[in-house]
Amino acid sequence: MTSLVDRTATPPAPPQASAFRRVLIGSMAGSVLEWYDFAVYGILAATVLGPLFFPSGDGIVGLLLSFATMGLGFVARPLGGIVFGHLGDRLGRQPMLVITFLLLGVSTAAIGLLPTYEQIGVWATALLVLLRMVQGFALGGEFGAAVLMVSEYGEPRRRGFWASWPQAGAPLGTVLATVLASVVGALLPDGAFDTWGWRLLFLAALPLLAIGFWIRRGVEESPVFRQAQERAEERTAVSGTAAASGRSSVLQALARPRAVLHGLGMRLGENIAFYIYTVFVIAYATTSFDYAREDVVLAVAFGSAAQFLGMIGGGHWSDVVGRKKAMLTPAVLLVVWAPVFFWMVQRESLPLLWTGVCVGAFLHGVLAGAEAAWITELFPTRYRFAGSSLVFQGSSIIAGAPAPLIAVWLVTSYGVGTVIAYLVVTMLVTIVAVATSRETRGTDLEAVES
**pLDDT for the residue 52:** 80
Is the Cβ–Cβ distance between 16 and 155 less than 8 Å?
no
**pLDDT for the residue 329:** 97
Is the Cβ–Cβ distance between 311 and 362 less than 8 Å?
no
Name the residue among 121, 154, 148 with its Cα closest to residue 15. Answer: 154
Name the residue among 101, 107, 426 with its Cα closest to residue 275. Answer: 426
Residues of the chain below pLDDT 70: 1-18, 46-47, 56-71, 143, 218, 220, 222, 229, 232-246, 446-450
Task: Express each pLDDT in 372-407 by its tens digit.
Answer: 999 989 988 888 888 888 898 888 778 877 888 899
DSSP letters spanning 181-242: HHHHHHHSPTTHIIIIIHHHHHHTHHHHHHHHHHHHHTPPPPHHHHHHHHHHHHHHHHHS--
Cα–Cα distances in angstroms (integers) from residue 361 to residues 226, 263, 269, 340, in the given order: 37, 21, 13, 13
Q: For 198, left (φ over 0), alpha (ψ -120 to 50), or beta?
A: alpha
pTM: 0.81
CA angle, 21 as apex, 15 and 23 as ends, to 5°? Answer: 80
**Which residues of 17-136 form beta strands (DSSP E)?**
none
Q: Give the distance, in angstroms, between the CA of residue 52 and the centroid of all CA atoms in the same chain.
A: 27
- Count H helices and E strands in the chain, helices first: 22, 0
The DSSP code for 10 is: P
Instruction: Report how far residue 329's alpha carbon sits from residue 334's, in angstroms, rounded to the nearest whole number.
Output: 9
**pLDDT for the residue 370:** 94
The DSSP code for 322 is: -
Instruction: Report how far residue 269's alpha carbon sits from residue 285's, in angstroms, rounded to the nearest whole number.
Output: 22
**pLDDT for the residue 238:** 63
Instruction: Report how far residue 187's alpha carbon sits from residue 340's, in angstroms, rounded to the nearest whole number.
Output: 35
**pLDDT for the residue 270:** 93
The DSSP code for 2 is: -
**pLDDT for the residue 124:** 84
Query: Which residues, 6+ apart, have CB-to-CB distance to 127 below 8 Å?
Result: 114
Cα–Cα distances in angstroms (integers) from residue 242 to residues 3, 117, 237, 380, in the given order: 13, 53, 9, 17
Instruction: Report how far residue 62's alpha carbon sits from residue 50's, in angstroms, rounded to the nearest whole number.
Output: 5
The DSSP code for 383 is: G
Helices (H), 93-204: 93-111, 117-120, 122-153, 159-167, 169-187, 192, 198-203
**pLDDT for the residue 268:** 93
